[in-house]
A and B are shown apart, each in its own frame.
Chain A
Amino acid sequence: MRRTRAGSTGRFWSRVVQLAFLACLLLLWFLATTEWGVNQLLLPNPIAVWDQLLDVVMSGEFVSDLILTLEELAAAFAIAISLGVTLGYLISRSPYLIKVFEPLFAGIYAIPIILFLPLYVLVLGLGPASKVALGATIGFFPIVLNTIAGFGTVDQTLQKAARSMGANGIQMFRYVLFPAALPVMLAGLRIGFTVALLSVIGSETLASLAGLGHRIVNLAESMEMARTFAYIVFVVAIVAVLNTVVSRLEARGRWR
């Protein structure tokens, strides 16, 4: 009882400190633009940014870019999941394949795959296809690696117990292998989602025709700094919501 109370007050105070820290940053930002004379072209006034943000949201101007970015993300993530989970499961069935492919995938995942963006653009063009392909490529690796790890490390005793009780192949998958692998696999899906999101928005800022990343770069290049910042805040908020949803979904599948 005492421990829970200490725990919840501790959590309360760390929330307060976190909020105070963000408030201080905001205050510093405000003072920098009003008192310390930082060039508004480099750092616009936060109140101006707020006004622009309201305008962006009210006008609905963001809708087409947001939809495009989300569509690219959804397509990239769907491809990464289908390939990653299927291949990961098949590889996990053989110790030999694990030995061959696990280090290979881990090695490729360690290089910055964004380097290949120019090639993707060359082949697939400036449109959404190159963003989807890059996002799918980058999202694939954590998903396939965690699927291999999840299915490859199911406790032998559990499998033996199920076998001794007469589980057939389908039952073994449904009641033992899948639930055992699920938490690790979901962690891979969460990471895959995050990196796919990063690479979709990132590649939009580098070479694209539309999308939220494209919009931000366009505004910055036309020196509309307050609106640029407003869009950045907007994207941060969208990403925070998406990540929270994905983390919640992951937590629901956890059993440990």
Chain B
Amino acid sequence: MQSPDPVIRVRNVSHQFGEVGEARYVHALMDTSIDVARGELLCLIGPSGCGKSTLLNIIGGLTRPTTGTVTVSGKPVRGPMPRDLSFIFQENALFPWNTVFENVLLGMTFQGVARAERQDRARRALEAVGLAAFGDHYPAQLSGGMRQRAALARALSLQTDILLMDEPFGALDEQTRIVLGEDLSVLLSESKKTIVFVTHSLGEAVFLADRVAVFSARPGTIKKVIAVEEPHPRKPAFMTAPKFHALRDELYNLLHDEIRKAMSESSGLPRRYAESGGAQA
């Protein structure tokens, strides 16, 4: 799993919550290594609780790994690196008391961007996601799809080379999800961002990813990496191509056993294990 120009380097990362013997002990991630090349979109896919979101949080410096190292753009990760990478979460990560425009401004405020530049960058980011007319709306006044566009605008305004996306379209309906996926593919072809993308959806993974890392059941680690050799921007026609289906089937076969394993494991455990595992998924 080496690549010529890795912008993210994950080496032998393990993570556990709690200590062995404690009720809340979960061995979430086991000895995982992967490189992410500049400009590539890497999808992380796997059964619930396999540690894929944990790995994303570790890359982003929100969680410290129990063992192992991560470097981003050559620097070891010790905490959030807001100048290098920005996060997009599943939902409700916009501040509900601020308008869409204010939400976009706030990220730049945290980083001390000059006032005039903030306004300008926010306007351009909202234009890029097609929300220029909705700057004065509050998040509650937008549809789920528009809220995620706004979250994307906030991340884009920070002008980081890396985006970490944690099931960003997971709470949306299938149609909206497809449209946002197409837009993301266009963005990728235009901007050369490096993206790590956690998803549950096989179709989404194949449609978006340059490579898909398939996780095993808990304690999770990367079981196999599959390359999707198809240039961005990808058109809706790709979704009906035989290659798409072949890759999707391959992913399904890899995942099927792991999902069975994960489910039988969590059903055999006391309830709180299953719950805490779910929360970390």
B87 interface residue (CB < 8 Å to A): yes
Q: How far is the CA of A167 from the CA of B158 in the complex (A)?
A: 13
Contact yes or no, A167 B110, CB < 8 A: yes
Residues of A within 8 A of B82 (CB): 164-166
* CB proximity of B126 to chain A, nearest CB, Å: 17
Which residue of B has the minimal Cβ distance to A175? B106
Which residue of A has the minimal Cβ distance to B279? A156
Q: How far is the CA of A162 from the CA of B90 in the complex (A)?
A: 15
B273 interface residue (CB < 8 Å to A): no
Residues of A within 8 A of B83 (CB): 166
Residues of B within 8 A of A8 (CB): none
Contact yes or no, B62 A158, CB < 8 A: no
Contact yes or no, B97 A255, CB < 8 A: yes
Contact yes or no, B80 A164, CB < 8 A: yes
Q: Interface digits, A167-202 against B, CB 8 Å rule (1 contact, 0 not)?
A: 110010001100110100000000000000000000
* CB proximity of A28 to chain B, nearest CB, Å: 46
A166's partner among B80, B95, B138, B154 (CB-CB below 8 A) is: B80
Contact yes or no, A158 B93, CB < 8 A: yes
Contact yes or no, A163 B92, CB < 8 A: no
B107 interface residue (CB < 8 Å to A): yes
Q: For chain A, residues 143 to 173, give those with C-beta under 8 angstroms from any C-beta of chain B.
A: 155, 157-158, 160-168, 171
A158's partner among B61, B95, B140 (CB-CB below 8 A) is: B95
A256 interface residue (CB < 8 Å to B): yes
Contact yes or no, A165 B95, CB < 8 A: no
Q: Given contacts A163-B62, A180-B97, is CB(A171)–CB(B110) below 8 Å?
A: yes
Sort chain A's interface into a size bin.
Answer: 20 to 34
Contact yes or no, B111 A166, CB < 8 A: yes
A157's partner among B80, B92, B106, B154 (CB-CB below 8 A) is: B92
Q: Given contacts A164-B62, A164-B86, A180-B97, is CB(A158)–CB(B92) below 8 Å?
A: yes
Q: Given contacts A160-B62, A179-B97, A180-B97, is CB(A165)–CB(B92) below 8 Å?
A: no
Residues of A within 8 A of B95 (CB): 158, 175-176, 179
Residues of B within 8 A of A155 (CB): 92
Q: How far is the CA of A158 from the CA of B91 in the complex (A)?
A: 10
Contact yes or no, B62 A165, CB < 8 A: no
Q: How far is the CA of A180 from the CA of B138 in the complex (A)?
A: 15
Q: How far is the CA of A217 from the CA of B219 in the complex (A)?
A: 74
Q: How far is the CA of A162 from the CA of B111 in the complex (A)?
A: 11
Q: How far is the CA of A256 from the CA of B97 in the complex (A)?
A: 7
Q: How far is the CA of A249 from the CA of B106 in the complex (A)?
A: 26
Q: How far is the CA of A167 from the CA of B95 in the complex (A)?
A: 13
* CB proximity of B101 to chain A, nearest CB, Å: 15
Residues of B within 8 A of A176 (CB): 95
Which residue of B has the minimal Cβ distance to A172? B110
Q: How far is the CA of A255 from the CA of B95 in the complex (A)?
A: 10
Which residue of A has the minimal Cβ distance to B108? A165
Q: Given contacts A171-B110, A175-B109, is CB(A164)–CB(B60) below 8 Å?
A: yes
Contact yes or no, B111 A165, CB < 8 A: yes
B18 interface residue (CB < 8 Å to A): no
B96 interface residue (CB < 8 Å to A): yes
Q: How far is the CA of A176 from the CA of B154 in the complex (A)?
A: 16
Q: Which 6 A-B pairs have the closest CB atoms?
A: A166-B82, A255-B97, A161-B93, A164-B87, A165-B107, A167-B110
19 of the cross-chain contacts (CB-CB < 8 Å) are: A157-B89, A157-B93, A158-B92, A160-B89, A163-B80, A164-B60, A164-B80, A165-B106, A165-B110, A165-B158, A166-B83, A171-B109, A175-B106, A179-B97, A179-B98, A180-B97, A182-B97, A255-B97, A256-B140
On B, residues with C-beta under 8 Å from A are: 60-62, 80, 82-83, 86-87, 89-93, 95-98, 106-107, 109-111, 138, 140, 154, 158
**Extra contacts besides A157-B92, A166-B110, A175-B110 (17): CB < 8 Å:** A157-B91, A158-B93, A160-B62, A160-B89, A161-B89, A164-B60, A164-B62, A164-B80, A164-B87, A165-B106, A166-B111, A167-B110, A171-B110, A175-B95, A179-B95, A255-B97, A256-B96
